[in-house]
């Protein structure tokens, strides 16, 4: 569902595969509703049981289609274009953004830059070639539904997984109950449609349950698929380097992509800026299960905004509501959530200029950091485990023009 073969990278495949899924659902409907529901259950067993099968499967399929449409229509969430930070304290601020208290950076202290969008990259954004813009909290491109999964449509993706999984579980339950009677009724053979249903149901139950479990794990830790892939890359690269130690037998397998898991944050300290190193396993965006879960369902998958400023927002009542939104279909469509991001989340009196407004807009999209991570960063600063940004070196002014033209495109 997520980790796709190379074939899926082609544009035509991304269009054809969702169509194949729809055609496959059409055949499954024929096999379930007619071959199993009518020809077996309705004709030889119970009209009521057959009707219950039709109603339950129809409800599941309506939910699948509805959340599929919501996935595509809602979209993954477009990141705003952020003008370059005013790292050199320039007096001409017409095309600059004030430097925030913290931002994620490369080892030299420069913020990450998207050359396609000509914008500062927000945390966990990634440029999508399919959408031609940067996606907020990019998770993955799902070829089966034909769209990008990001911040805005992630909760609909979870709903989609649940009801698609329920569809096949119900199918398998009814199928296993009435296969033997179909076999025993004189022919000593079973309807060939049943064999196909067993294969498809078993395959999709395995895939969907594994995928749902993985994404629930991501929600608990406020991770994305990209985060998980990077952590696994660290383990593979570490294992490969360990196996290729001079004292050991060399690993002849293909060299994995280099990934140490080391990241950097540029943070304000007194009257200057410092660069502090951390790792992917420090989980800077995780606020614990209770907050992470409610932020997804009640704060539109955000860790910032007015909702996060009050402890009362994370009550037991709201936790129960968030589970209701997860389990009961369509409730999330009518329950109000903090989806819109605007300057009302902060005091408008601070909007004294367009220059300061750019910083406020940036902060509305910038992910908050958890207290544990901030304490860890502050402890490293107190222990002098930091270095200065390159742009604050004596040669910074001479290198300003060249450094602005060579900002990295990495996450």
Per-domain boundaries in the chain: 6-76+143-220, 102-141+259-404
pLDDT of residue 213: 97
> Which residues have CB under 8 Å from 227's CB, separation 6+?
124, 218, 280
Centre a 10 Å sphere on the Cβ of residue 49 and count the other Cβ atoms it contains: 15
Lowest mean pLDDT, pick from 65-79, 188-202, 370-384:
188-202
For the segment 251-263, the average pLDDT, to the nearest whole number, is: 73
Which of 370 and 259 is assigned the larger pLDDT? 370
Lowest mean pLDDT, pick from 20-29, 247-256, 400-409:
400-409
- Asked whether the beta carbons of 286 and 309 are under 8 A apart, the reply is no
**Closest C-alpha to 411, from 2, 142, 103, 122:** 122
CA 383 to chain CA mean position, Å? 35
For residue 160, pLDDT beyond 90: yes
What's the rounded Cα separation, in Å, for the pair 119 and 117? Answer: 5
DSSP 18-82: HHHHHHHHHHHHIIIIIIIIIIIIIHHT-HHHHHHHHHHHHHHHHHHHHHHHHHHHH-S-BPPP-
> Which residues have CB under 8 Å from 195's CB, separation 6+?
none
Which of 397 and 406 is assigned the larger pLDDT? 397
For the segment 93-112, the average pLDDT, to the nearest whole number, is: 94
For the segment 327-352, the average pLDDT, to the nearest whole number, is: 63
For residue 295, pLDDT beyond 60: yes
pLDDT of residue 254: 63
Which of 146 and 255 is assigned the larger pLDDT? 146
Average per-residue pLDDT for the chain: 85
408 confidence band (pLDDT: 50, 70, 90): very low
142 is catalytic: yes
pLDDT of residue 207: 95
pLDDT of residue 334: 82
- Asked whether the beta carbons of 53 and 36 are under 8 A apart, the reply is yes
> Which residues have CB under 8 Å from 146's CB, separation 6+?
14, 15, 17, 18, 72
Kindly report the length of the chain. 411
For residue 206, pLDDT beyond 90: yes
For residue 186, pLDDT beyond 70: no
For residue 349, pLDDT beyond 50: no
Radius of gyration from C-alpha coordinates of the chain: 26
DSSP conformation class of 102? E
pLDDT of residue 402: 47
pLDDT of residue 399: 46
pLDDT of residue 322: 93
For residue 62, pLDDT beyond 80: yes
pLDDT of residue 13: 74
DSSP conformation class of 9? G
For residue 411, pLDDT beyond 80: no
**Closest C-alpha to 332, from 16, 71, 50, 24:** 71
- Asked whether the beta carbons of 122 and 136 are under 8 A apart, the reply is yes
For residue 159, pLDDT beyond 60: yes
The 10s digit of each residue's pLDDT in 128-144 is 988 999 999 999 999 89
For residue 255, pLDDT beyond 80: no
333 confidence band (pLDDT: 50, 70, 90): confident
For the segment 99-128, the average pLDDT, to the nearest whole number, is: 95
Find tokens 């998980």 and name the residue: 228
- Asked whether the beta carbons of 105 and 85 are under 8 A apart, the reply is no
pLDDT of residue 407: 44
DSSP conformation class of 335? S
pLDDT of residue 205: 97
For the segment 72-99, the average pLDDT, to the nearest whole number, is: 92
Catalytic residue among 32, 63, 114, 142: 142
Find tokens 């009302």 and name the residue: 344
For residue 101, pLDDT beyond 90: yes
For residue 15, pLDDT beyond 90: no
pLDDT of residue 91: 86
What's the rounded Cα separation, in Å, for the pair 83 and 184? Answer: 72
For residue 216, pLDDT beyond 80: yes
Bridge partners (DSSP) listed for residue 275:
266, 387
pLDDT of residue 78: 94
For residue 2, pLDDT beyond 80: no
What's the rounded Cα separation, in Å, for the pair 225 and 204? Answer: 20
pLDDT of residue 253: 59
What's the whole-model pTM score? 0.86
């Amino acid at each position: 569902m997520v980790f796709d073969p190379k074939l899926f990278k082609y544009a035509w495949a991304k269009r054809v595969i969702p169509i194949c899924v729809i055609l496959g659902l059409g055949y499954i409907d024929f096999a379930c509703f007619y071959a199993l529901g009518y020809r077996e259950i309705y004709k030889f067993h119970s009209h009521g049981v057959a009707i219950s099968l039709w109603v339950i499967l129809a409800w599941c399929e309506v939910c699948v289609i509805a959340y599929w449409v919501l996935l595509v229509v809602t979209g993954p969430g477009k990141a705003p274009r952020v003008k370059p930070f005013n790292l050199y304290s320039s007096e001409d601020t017409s095309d600059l953004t004030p430097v925030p208290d913290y931002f994620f950076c490369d080892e030299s202290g420069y913020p990450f830059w998207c050359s396609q969008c000509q914008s500062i990259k927000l945390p966990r954004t990634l440029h999508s070639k399919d959408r031609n813009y940067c996606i907020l909290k990019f998770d993955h491109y799902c070829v089966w539904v034909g769209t990008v999964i990001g911040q805005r449509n992630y909760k609909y993706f979870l709903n989609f997984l649940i009801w698609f999984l329920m569809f096949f579980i119900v199918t398998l339950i009814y199928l296993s109950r009435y296969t033997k009677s179909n076999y025993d009724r004189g022919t000593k053979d079973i309807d060939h449609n049943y064999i196909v249903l067993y294969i498809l149901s078993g395959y999709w139950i395995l895939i969907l349950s594994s995928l749902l479990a993985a994404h629930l794990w991501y929600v608990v830790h406020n991770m994305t698929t990209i985060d998980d892939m990077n952590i696994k890359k660290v383990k593979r690269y570490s294992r490969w380097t360990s196996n290729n130690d001079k004292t050991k037998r060399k690993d002849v397998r293909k060299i994995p992509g280099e990934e140490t898991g080391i990241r950097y944050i540029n943070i304000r300290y007194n009257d200057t800026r410092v660069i502090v190193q951390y790792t992917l396993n420090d989980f800077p965006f995780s606020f614990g299960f209770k907050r992470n879960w409610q932020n997804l369902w009640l704060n539109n998958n955000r860790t910032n905004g007015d909702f996060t400023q009050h402890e009362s927002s994370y009550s037991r009542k709201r936790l129960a509501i968030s589970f209701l939104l997860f389990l009961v279909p369509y409730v999330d469509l009518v329950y109000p959530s903090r989806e819109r991001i605007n300057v009302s989340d902060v005091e408008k009196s601070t909007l004294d200029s367009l220059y300061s407004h750019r910083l406020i807009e940036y902060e509305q999209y910038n992910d908050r950091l958890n207290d544990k991570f901030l304490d860890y960063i502050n402890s490293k600063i107190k222990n002098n485990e930091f270095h200065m940004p390159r742009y604050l070196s004596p040669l910074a002014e001479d290198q300003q023009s060249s450094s602005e033209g060579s900002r990295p495109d990495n996450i």
